Chains A and B, each alone.
Chain A
Amino acid sequence: EDQVTQSPEALRLQEGESSSLNCSYTVSGLRGLFWYRQDPGKGPEFLFTLYSAGEEKEKERLKATLTKKESFLHITAPKPEDSATYLCAVQAGGNYQLIWGAGTKLIIKP
């Protein structure tokens, strides 16, 4: 069964303290892995798509990487405004739907 697991469930960091969020997946025929950010009471906001192992994408303080089994979202010198829940999702095989992890709630303290 296709599955996506994110860890940790929650992460508290001090402003400027770099860290990484993990998204591990077991799917048949990965077609794409997506990272989204979700603020309370809002819909998910698209961040990155990763297509193949070894690929990397960057946006401001965020960098996403992909291997054959997992993806990491690295956050460098985070600021309080980076606080949000970060979701990853995968598209596998011939399916149209995305399979989502439960998310990592990131809290950055000033």
Chain B
Amino acid sequence: ETGVTQSPTHLIKTRGQQVTLRCSSQSGHNTVSWYQQALGQGPQFIFQYYREEENGRGNFPPRFSGLQFPNYSSELNVNALELDDSALYLCASSAGQGMVSYNSPLHFGNGTRLTVT
């Protein structure tokens, strides 16, 4: 069983630039969520995709956008990068058909460490 994989592992960008992060979901999982984790904090929900559509969004501005592809892989795009966007970006997948539940918990990748200078 292949787990959740994310690329790249590390990235350094300049303020104002744009970035794309990629995620391959775990085999058999159809729902993908993205989280931002600042140092010493818990993950913050960005958004979730199911059947190639966004079906939930946290308190993040529109410059954070995403895609889900037919093979359930996903991208997170961030435009006009700000210094505060520096964080670990986590992708998680689940088999809950759009819902996190007790029998379909989230399974996380190891994240992309984004540094904005």
A binds B: yes
Residues of chain B within 8 A (CB-CB) of A99 are 45
Contact of B101 among A32, A45, A97, A102 (CB under 8 A): A32
Q: Chain B interface mostly helix, strand, loop or mixed? A: loop
Contact of B56 with A31 in the complex, beta carbons under 8 Å: no
Least CB distance from B42 to A in Å reads 3
Contact of A97 with B108 in the complex, beta carbons under 8 Å: no
Least CB distance from A93 to B in Å reads 12
Residues of chain B within 8 A (CB-CB) of A43 are 4, 90, 92, 108-111
Contact of A44 among B43, B44, B48, B99 (CB under 8 A): B43
**Which 9 pairs show the lowest CB-CB distances between chains A and B?**
A100-B42, A43-B108, A96-B56, A97-B45, A49-B102, A43-B110, A32-B102, A51-B102, A46-B105
